[in-house]
Structures are given as structure tokens and as C-alpha cells.
Amino acid sequence: GAMMKEALLHMLSENEGEFVSGQEISNKLNCSRTAIWKHISELRNSGYTIEAVQKRGYRLVTSPDLVTAEEVSLYTGNGTFGKKITYKSSVKSTQEIAHSLAREGAPEGSIVLADEQTGGRGRLGRAWQSPAGTGVWMSLILKPNIPLQKAPQLTLLIAVAASKAIEKVAGLEAEIKWPNDILIKGKKTAGILTELQAEADSIHSVIVGIGMNVNQQTEHFSDEIAQIATSLAIEGRQTYKRAEVIGVLLQEIETLYRQYLENGFGVIKLLWEARAFSLGKRITARSVTGSITGYAKGITEEGVLLLEDDRGQVHSIYSADIEI
């Protein structure tokens, strides 16, 4: 059922604006006219406008801004990331679902998507606001064969991919604030949460959570974050198809990830540095163990931030919040 609906949507969307005859669909999908009609009705109920004309067939006129498996699959391209999609309209956190899928052996590149999260989470138990119908709330399962201490490099890799995806989709410049914030004009548009399933010092799975504000207007943000958050729609003054954003994002991630596994972190480091917001600035790094103020010198091969304090001593920062 679901597979056929997806295949039908693909046929209609490949022939965008053109009629596809019932006969053609029925031949290609090997199904009855009644089955086609049932799926057309379901697609209409989910917000697709499909014209049906006697003797000519069906024509896709408009599609809604959904992040369902069938809609997202229109944009995932030839890569393997996003081939397996778990979609829920409302969940507590896509991370939870992805963690259990990974434990059950889900393949690398599997993703979990939700239209809304009721308990979306950031780092250190903080909350991530994920209102319905507005953003990309996605968890991606990776299974890299790398030592545990290199895992932070993945957060930086994802940040580069997210920044490139924003540039591609919206033509907006997106900077990276170490380690996991994507900023447009200094305001947070996306956040990354990298969680590990590991045994001893080998990684079983990495669950990468990406939250990206796409179509929010300022009133969608709570007072608490209204001053510090932004969205692609606010900055680009138009709305974007979330499914397309996801497709571009997955392709950017997969390209960088393959490059990373083959050639190491070097290229990613350069790309990251070119987009870094905090490098060369005076910053304060706050962590559970205290705070250090100084000059952000750069990142190491491992993805660790180097901070030179006022006495000239250089500190390696593994995890912290940065204030500029």
C-alpha cells in the first residue's frame, strides 16, 4: 500500500504538470484502476492537489509541505542516505526512535523524521523547540568505523553539510559556531546533537540529531529564544519545501561523509574553518567545570577547540557553550 502510493506520487511528480493516464499507471505499478483511485484519494486527503480528467488521467498540480516518507523520497536522489525513512507526525524526540532502530540493527543512512516534536532535546538536557509544520526535525543513523575519540569530528562534518545545504536551498550565508550551532546573521537556525552507542572504545552507531528552523515566523518562537533564533523563511523572506531541504541536506552529508571516511578530517576541517563564526574572536567557553575567556585560535585535527587565555596559555575545549 505505502510503497504503491509512493511509486504513484513519483510517477505524477516526474511528469510534473502533465497528465499521466490511468492505463499507464496501472501498467507500470501493476495495479487496478480502483487501487489507483484509492491512493489518489489518500494523497488528496494529505493535501496534494491532483486533477483527474476523463480519458487524460491524473495530473499533480500542487504538493503540500510535508516530511512524510513519500514526499521526502522525491528529493533524496541517488545516495543511500534517506533510503530508509521512518516518519511520525508527532513524537517526543526523533532521537529516541532512532536509538531503538539502531539497536535493532537499522542500516547506516536510515533516518527518522517528525512533523512535530513534543520533547525535542538539545545538549545537556536542554529543550529544542520543534513546533508542527515548521522545521526539519531529523535523526540520522551512522555507523562509521572510527575510534571513539574522533566522534566529535562528525558534529563538525554535519555542521559544514548543514551550512552548505542552507546556502544551496536558500542562497543564505550560514556560519558555524563551535561546536554545533548554525547561525544566519548571528542567530541560531539549526542545532546538532550527536549521540553515541558504543562498547568499550568502539562505536556501534552514531545518532545525529539535526533541528533546522525552516518556515517559522518570529511568533513561532517562545519569548525565551525569540531574540536568538531565526529561520530560513525569516532570513530568505519566502517559505521553503522542507522535504527539499532534507533531500539537499542528506546529499551534502553523504558526500562529505564518504570523503571523510576515505581521506580523513583534513578537508572537512578546512571547510569548517572557512565557515567558522567564532574563530579569531574573543570568546568565553562555559562548561560544567567552569569558564575560560580568551582568543579562539582554531580547531585541532580531532575537532577540539583551542582557546588562548590572557596569560597566553592554550586550553583544549572538548565541550562547552560559547559566548561571543
Annotation: binding site: 117, 121-123, 188
Measured from the CB of residue 127, what is the shortest distance to ligand BT5 in angstroms? Answer: 6
Q: How is 10-39 classified by DSSP, letter by letter? A: HHHHHTTTS-B-HHHHHHHHT--HHHHHHH
Nearer to ligand BT5, 73 or 139 (CB): 139
Answer yes or no: are the C-beta atoms of 120 and 130 closer than 8 Å. Answer: yes
How many whole angstroms separate alpha carbon 176 and alpha carbon 142? 22
DSSP 258: H
Handedness of CA 64, 97, 245, 129 (dihedral sign): positive
Which parts of 176-195 interact with ligand BT5 (CB under 6 A)?
180, 188, 191-193
Answer yes or no: are the C-beta atoms of 90 and 119 closer than 8 Å. Answer: no
Nearer to ligand BT5, 117 or 278 (CB): 117
Measured from the CB of residue 287, what is the shortest distance to ligand BT5 in angstroms? Answer: 12
Query: Contact with ligand BT5 (CB under 6 A): which of 8, 101, 138, 299?
Result: 138
99 forms part of the interface with ligand BT5 (CB under 6 A): no
Nearer to ligand BT5, 129 or 153 (CB): 129
Cβ atoms within 10 Å, residue 81: 24
Strand partners, 256: none
C-alpha cell at 115: 512533523
Which parts of 208-237 interact with ligand BT5 (CB under 6 A)?
209-211, 213, 225, 229
Nearer to ligand BT5, 36 or 232 (CB): 232
Measured from the CB of residue 62, what is the shortest distance to ligand BT5 in angstroms? Answer: 27
Known binding site for biotin: residues?
117, 121-123, 188
User: E strand or H helix at 212, and its extent?
Assistant: strand 202-213
C-alpha cell at 268: 572537512
126 forms part of the interface with ligand BT5 (CB under 6 A): yes
User: E strand or H helix at 181, and its extent?
Assistant: strand 181-184
152 forms part of the interface with ligand BT5 (CB under 6 A): no
Measured from the CB of residue 180, what is the shortest distance to ligand BT5 in angstroms? Answer: 5
How many whole angstroms separate alpha carbon 269 and alpha carbon 29? 46
Stretch that binds ligand BT5, among 46-54, 89-97, 142-150, 272-280 (CB under 6 A): 89-97
Measured from the CB of residue 167, what is the shortest distance to ligand BT5 in angstroms? Answer: 19
**Binding site residues, ligand BT5, CB under 6 A:** 93-95, 117, 120-124, 126, 128-130, 137-139, 180, 188, 191-193, 209-211, 213, 225, 229
